[in-house]
Amino acid sequence: MHINQKVNLDDLRYFLALARHGRLVAAGERLGVEHTTVSRRLAALEKAVGHRLFERTRTGWTPTAAGRRLLPHAERIEAEAALAFSDADDETRPVSGLVRIVATDAAGSVLVAPALAPLHARHPDIDLELVTTSALISHHTGQFDVAVTLHRPELPRLHARPLGDYALRLYASPGYLRRRTPVRTPDDLAAHEMVWYIESLLDLPELRVFHQVSETAEFAFRSSNVFAQLEAVAAGMGIGLLPAFLAGGDTRLVPVLAAELEVARTFWMIVPSTLLNVERVRIVSEHLASWFEEQADVLRPR
């Protein structure tokens, strides 16, 4: 690829943003400009280098062969420019920019959100967004910068890192247990009403696990939302299989068959490979990894 003197190196910022986020609107959000500006600057860059750098696909904009060849060079220019400005300053320049985190409902609300407070205190110029969902997280480019999920995708463009195991255990309200027959063994669960997900709406295969607890369970209540399940259990509707980090500290609940039954699952942190060397994303992902490590006894109480 021959790059002539008409190339505006600032256009490489727009090239990198679209390569990393896959959509013009998402790239514009990251750069603080309209998506039309991103499109115009990329058109100018493509004209200067004499090649199409992106092609439009069903999932967004994907670099062409020429774009893939340019990508590592553009990343090196970005890194060198950041280093040059850092060295030119008497003190370290603050890291800034937007980082969007996607997480499952419970993990996002109970684990990730509290983790972001100390991170914000140290890096106030990093803008943090948290999107929570009970569905399978979309792995399309541009939908997130960091994801915390139960599902490990087998895709080369995504970097997966284990954050730690957590426990699903049985809980009930004291009132429910007082008015029902005792639960002394797993076989006793057949005589009880249970609270769980709506299996037909459950996107995460890692949570199709109730059969490991009871194959003859009768369900009093099902919900696609784990917080609704928690409230139903606390209200005495039945026995629920809930994350220990969510239910273990709830004074309205007591554990059931704690020594006999536990289902363990793993939280994974997913980062698009193109974002691994972006400093603000690296700071956020490293902080979350350390936070989850510190929460090991909360995730899986002994």
Q: What is the pLDDT of residues 202-224, one digit of tens each?
A: 777 888 888 888 888 899 999 99
Single-letter amino acid code for the residue at 24: L
Give me the chain's average pLDDT, please. Answer: 88
Alpha carbon distance 174, 176 (integer Å): 5
Alpha carbon distance 302, 299 (integer Å): 10
Confidence (pLDDT) at 290: 96
Reported as a pLDDT band with limits 50, 70 and 90, residue 238 is very high
Asked whether residue 292 carries a pLDDT value surpassing 90, the answer given is yes
Alpha carbon distance 192, 56 (integer Å): 54
Asked whether residue 251 carries a pLDDT value surpassing 90, the answer given is yes
Reported as a pLDDT band with limits 50, 70 and 90, residue 139 is low
Asked whether residue 7 carries a pLDDT value surpassing 80, the answer given is no
pTM of structure = 0.74
Confidence (pLDDT) at 89: 55
Reported as a pLDDT band with limits 50, 70 and 90, residue 90 is very low
Confidence (pLDDT) at 138: 61
Asked whether residue 102 carries a pLDDT value surpassing 80, the answer given is yes
Alpha carbon distance 236, 285 (integer Å): 39
Reported as a pLDDT band with limits 50, 70 and 90, residue 91 is low
Asked whether residue 134 carries a pLDDT value surpassing 50, the answer given is yes
* Span 273-282, average pLDDT: 86
Asked whether residue 135 carries a pLDDT value surpassing 80, the answer given is no
- Closest by CA position to 31, among listed 19, 43, 48, 49: 19
Reported as a pLDDT band with limits 50, 70 and 90, residue 82 is low
Alpha carbon distance 296, 264 (integer Å): 13
Question: pLDDT (tens digit, 9 = 90+) per residue, 109-126?
Answer: 999 999 999 999 999 999
Alpha carbon distance 140, 133 (integer Å): 15
Reported as a pLDDT band with limits 50, 70 and 90, residue 142 is low
Q: Where are the domains of the chain?
A: 11-88, 97-164+266-299, 165-265
Alpha carbon distance 69, 80 (integer Å): 18
Asked whether residue 29 carries a pLDDT value surpassing 70, the answer given is yes
Asked whether residue 155 carries a pLDDT value surpassing 80, the answer given is no
On the question of a common fold for 97-164+266-299 and 165-265, the answer reads: yes
97-164+266-299: which CATH architecture? 3-Layer(aba) Sandwich (3.40)
Confidence (pLDDT) at 77: 81
Alpha carbon distance 147, 266 (integer Å): 13
Asked whether residue 281 carries a pLDDT value surpassing 50, the answer given is yes
Q: Confirm or reject CATH 3.30.750.24 for domain 165-265, answering yes or no.
A: no
Asked whether residue 231 carries a pLDDT value surpassing 60, the answer given is yes
Question: pLDDT (tens digit, 9 = 90+) per residue, 178-209?
Answer: 999 999 999 999 999 999 999 888 777 888 88
CATH code: domain 11-88 is: 1.10.10.10
Confidence (pLDDT) at 85: 61
